[in-house]
């Protein structure tokens, strides 16, 4: 058993991590080397121009004012103004260059993070909170924007200004300069300490922001708002939100206090040093020093001020950079997550048009929890011939949906294999596999846009007529045509302007547009009333012709004509065969069918009784 890590070891490990993080941050600039080089030249020009003005001021005082030479005063005053304006223009130029480079990096960082997350398996999304993902993609990336956009150029320009100012100050008077820089190490020490504290605080702020975003996402969505209103406990939810909000406010107060403390200390030091400089200059003059003059002191004070402002910036940047490591660590943590589902090198191309649709499961085993000894699926073996209808039935939680997830590689099997036309799905190019399998899931997801755009998710280049034809097959066209905006109607968040049955029929229309050789219907008619189910069942029969279909059935009456029925219990196939064969076995299928048949009959009797009672009352 390894011994606990000491504080010194932990600190050394953190420094090592920080160096790697710093290396990766600077690596973000690699694609922009040429633009960065041009910016560096601009920074150098701006720094050199900034050194000229103090010398002009010295000449104005020593050779103009003291000698009452108006020509010298006028000439160098005009030159000072011109140089100042030129330096300001150059500063604006490299500031613009910095922002452009920074925004390109930010855009790429957001794109990389979004694209990487899209490639994560379903396992990631079932374990991660949506609010946390949003916080990292928006808040964390936004939090490092200042570092990426401004820190690099600010650090370079500030270092250049400080170094050039120090050299010039030494050239003017080395004694005054040594005194001026004597307290800089103290500033550096506080800057490092504040940066380390800032890192912990910013991490706390982002974690609490993530918690708050998750809570808002959960409670202020349509589903969350509906839950809050129906349970009537808005006060409890408000109190919970207030508690999380209070904790976030506490972290933000800490961040603000730390910032004020740091700049307060820096202000004290920068105000003490000039007083000491003037005292030393006075002491030297009383000792008969000939190098000190009024012009030199004014020029030195100007250079000292010019040094302190960027020094303030450098100390602030130090704290900002160290503090931002917490955000970069959170961003890189997501970027470093490995994709569970990866395309094999030299993957087999399997164009949709060439797929017959034969699907084979050979000893498939799967676990949601990789560390668990319990298998979600175990020993799943069957063969679906091209064009067959395969029905999966069984108790809730038996693993029916999980079986279908193995076909499009929403998860990878942990044992055995799944094959399409004899090719292991793990060997098929991912794009080809996505095109080959269509799904209508139990929970229909629609985005907050028009009916037309929701349909075109399945086929972006579909014509309006293709959309109409697909919706007619799905028995949803007449309803859409009755809407005020027809196919341009906004469906609302998650499609809440549509009924459950309407959403599901729209999802079926999407599957029709995609036209895959393999179709998965996961409780595709579960949200439909009896009338709607009849309307769509014929359409589904038409849709299923010529393609292999896996149907997870809520109503067993809808899969009586299946070529093969797989009865699943506790992640295993316990029975298989056709409807009549399974009834004859008197096993689980017969029990399920009998229970449902009796329940449906009771429902029909209850409906009939209610109709008679209503008639009698009338």
Judgement on whether residues 402 and 482 belong to the same structural domain of the protein: yes
Judgement on whether residues 251 and 194 belong to the same structural domain of the protein: yes
Final residue belonging to a domain, choices 335, 366, 401: 335
Question: Where are any strands of DSSP class E within 367-430?
Answer: 377-384, 389-393, 415-420, 423-424
- Could you please report the per-residue DSSP string of 89-150? HHHHHHHHHHHHHHHHHHHHHHHHHHHHHHTS-HHHHHHS-HHHHHIIIIIIHHHTHHIIII
Residue 5, in any domain of the structure: no
Rounded to an integer, what is the distance from CA 584 to the centroid of its chain? 54
Judgement on whether residues 280 and 386 belong to the same structural domain of the protein: no
Most confident of 68-77, 554-563, 564-573: 564-573
372: which residues sit within 8 A by CB, 6+ positions away?
none
Judgement on whether residues 300 and 403 belong to the same structural domain of the protein: no
Summarize the confidence of residues 522-527 as an average pLDDT.
Answer: 66
Interval 167-199: pLDDT, tens: 888 887 888 888 877 767 776 676 667 666 766
Residue 12, in any domain of the structure: no
Q: For residue 424, name the pLDDT band (cuts at 50, 70, 90).
A: very high
pLDDT over 50 at 278, yes or no: yes
Judgement on whether residues 321 and 364 belong to the same structural domain of the protein: no
Judgement on whether residues 371 and 246 belong to the same structural domain of the protein: no
Q: What is the rounded CA–CA span in Å between residue 133 and residue 10?
A: 28
Contact assessment for residue 209 and residue 333, using Cβ atoms and an 8 Å cutoff: no
CA nearest 571: which of 427, 390, 406?
406
Strands 415-420 and 564-569, sheet pairing: unpaired
Residue 9, in any domain of the structure: no
Half-sphere exposure of 442 (CA within 13 A, CB side): 12
Mean pLDDT rounded to a whole number for the chain: 77
Judgement on whether residues 58 and 174 belong to the same structural domain of the protein: yes
Q: What is the rounded CA–CA span in Å between residue 612 and residue 328?
A: 70
**Domain extent for 473:** 352-612
Judgement on whether residues 377 and 328 belong to the same structural domain of the protein: no
Final residue belonging to a domain, choices 335, 369, 392: 335
Query: In the numeric block, which tokens belong to residue 47?
Result: 């720094």
- Between 126 and 342, the higher pLDDT residue: 342
Judgement on whether residues 85 and 118 belong to the same structural domain of the protein: yes
pLDDT over 50 at 604, yes or no: no
Number of independent structural domains in the chain = 2
Q: C-alpha distances in angstroms, 401 versus 37, 129, 383, 444, 461?
A: 56, 22, 17, 14, 30
pLDDT over 60 at 42, yes or no: yes
Q: What is the rounded CA–CA span in Å between residue 545 and residue 159?
A: 72
Q: What is the rounded CA–CA span in Å between residue 391 and residue 520?
A: 10
Contact assessment for residue 447 and residue 453, using Cβ atoms and an 8 Å cutoff: yes
Q: For residue 605, name the pLDDT band (cuts at 50, 70, 90).
A: very low
Residue 4, in any domain of the structure: no
Residue 11, in any domain of the structure: no
Judgement on whether residues 289 and 426 belong to the same structural domain of the protein: no
Q: What is the CATH number of the domain that holds 479?
A: 3.40.50.300
Interval 346-362: pLDDT, tens: 888 888 888 888 999 99
Query: In the numeric block, which tokens belong to residue 292?
Result: 């000190």
Helix (H, G, I), strand (E, B) or coil at 578: coil
Looking at 220-293, list the stretches that DSSP marks H as alpha helix, in order from N- to C-terminal side. Answer: 222-231, 234-286
Please give the model's pTM, rounded to 2 decimal places.
0.65
User: Degrees (nearest 5) of the Cα angle 48, 49, 51?
Assistant: 70
Interval 542-566: pLDDT, tens: 677 778 989 887 666 667 788 899 9
Lowest mean pLDDT among 140-149, 337-346, 542-551, 597-606: 597-606
Mind spelling out the 3-state secondary structure of 405-420? HCCCCCCCCCEEEEEE
What one-character DSSP code corresponds to residue 349? P
Final residue belonging to a domain, choices 335, 369, 403: 335
pLDDT over 70 at 468, yes or no: yes
Residue 106, in any domain of the structure: yes
| Cα distance between the two ends of the chain | 82
Summarize the confidence of residues 409-421 as an average pLDDT.
Answer: 91
Judgement on whether residues 237 and 373 belong to the same structural domain of the protein: no
Query: In the numeric block, which tokens belong to residue 440?
Result: 């209508």
Judgement on whether residues 380 and 486 belong to the same structural domain of the protein: yes
Contact assessment for residue 436 and residue 420, using Cβ atoms and an 8 Å cutoff: yes
Q: What is the CATH number of the domain that holds 229?
A: 1.20.1560.10
Residue 343, in any domain of the structure: no
Interval 487-504: pLDDT, tens: 888 877 666 677 777 777
Residue 340, in any domain of the structure: no
């Amino acid at each position: 058993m390894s011994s606990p890590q000491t504080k010194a070891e932990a600190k050394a490990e953190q420094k090592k991590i920080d160096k790697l993080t710093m290396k990766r941050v600077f690596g973000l600039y690699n694609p922009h080397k040429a633009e960065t080089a041009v910016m560096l030249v601009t920074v150098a020009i701006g720094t050199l121009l900034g050194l000229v003005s103090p010398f002009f001021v010295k000449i104005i005082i020593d050779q103009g004012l003291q000698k009452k030479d108006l020509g010298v005063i006028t000439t160098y005053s005009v030159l000072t103004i011109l140089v100042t304006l030129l330096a300001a223009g150059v500063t604006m130029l490299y500031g613009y260059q910095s922002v452009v480079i920074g925004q390109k990096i930010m855009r790429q960082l957001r794109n990389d993070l979004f694209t990487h997350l899209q490639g994560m398996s379903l396992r990631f999304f079932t374990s991660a909170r949506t609010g946390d993902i949003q916080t990292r993609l928006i808040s964390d990336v936004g939090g490092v924007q200042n570092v990426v956009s401004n820190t690099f150029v600010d650090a370079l320009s500030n270092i250049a200004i400080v170094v050039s100012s120090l050299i010039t100050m030494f050239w003017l008077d080395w004694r005054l300069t040594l005194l001026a820089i004597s307290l800089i190490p103290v500033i550096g020490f506080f800057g490092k300490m504040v940066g380390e504290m800032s890192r912990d605080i910013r991490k706390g702020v982002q974690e609490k922001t993530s918690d708050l975003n998750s809570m808002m996402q959960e409670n202020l969505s349509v589903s969350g708002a509906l839950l809050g209103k129906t349970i009537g406990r808005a006060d409890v939810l408000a109190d919970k939100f207030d508690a999380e909000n209070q904790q976030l406010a506490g972290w933000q107060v800490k961040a603000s206090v730390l910032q004020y403390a740091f700049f307060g200390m820096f202000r004290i030091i920068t105000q003490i040093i000039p007083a000491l400089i003037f005292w030393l200059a006075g002491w030297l003059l009383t000792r008969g020093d000939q190098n000190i003059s009024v012009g030199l002191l004014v020029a030195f004070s100007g250079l000292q001020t010019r040094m302190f402002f960027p020094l303030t910036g450098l100390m602030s940047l130090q704290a900002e950079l160290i503090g931002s490591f917490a955000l970069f660590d959170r961003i890189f943590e997501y970027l470093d997550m490995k994709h569970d589902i990866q395309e094999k090198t030299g993957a087999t191309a399997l164009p949709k048009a060439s797929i017959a649709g034969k699907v084979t499961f050979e000893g498939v085993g799967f676990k949601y929890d990789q560390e668990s000894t319990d298998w979600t699926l175990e020993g799943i073996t069957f063969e679906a011939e091209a064009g067959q209808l395969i029905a999966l039935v069984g108790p809730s939680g038996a693993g029916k949906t999980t079986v279908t997830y193995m076909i499009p590689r929403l998860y990878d099997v942990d044992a055995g294999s799944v094959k399409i036309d004899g090719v292991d799905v793990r060997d098929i190019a991912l794009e080809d596999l996505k095109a080959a399998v269509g799904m209508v899931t139990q929970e229909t997801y629609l985005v907050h846009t028009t009916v037309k755009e929701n349909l075109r998710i399945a086929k972006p280049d579909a014509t309006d007529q293709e959309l109409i034809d697909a919706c007619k097959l799905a028995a949803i066209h007449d309803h859409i045509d009755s809407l005020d905006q027809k196919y341009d109607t906004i469906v609302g968040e998650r499609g809440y302007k549509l009924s459950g049955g309407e959403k599901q029929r729209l999802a079926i229309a999407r599957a029709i547009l995609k036209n895959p050789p393999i179709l998965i219907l996961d409780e595709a008619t579960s949200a439909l009333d009896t009338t709607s189910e009849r309307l769509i069942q014929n359409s589904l029969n038409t849709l299923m012709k010529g393609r292999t279909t896996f149907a997870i059935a809520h109503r067993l009456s809808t899969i009586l004509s299946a070529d093969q029925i797989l009865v699943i219990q506790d992640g295993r196939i316990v029975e298989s065969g056709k409807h009549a064969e399974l009834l004859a076995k008197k096993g689980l299928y017969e029990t399920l069918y009998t229970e449902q048949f009796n329940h449906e009959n009771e429902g029909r009797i209850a409906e009939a009784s209610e109709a008679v009672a209503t008639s009698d009352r009338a």
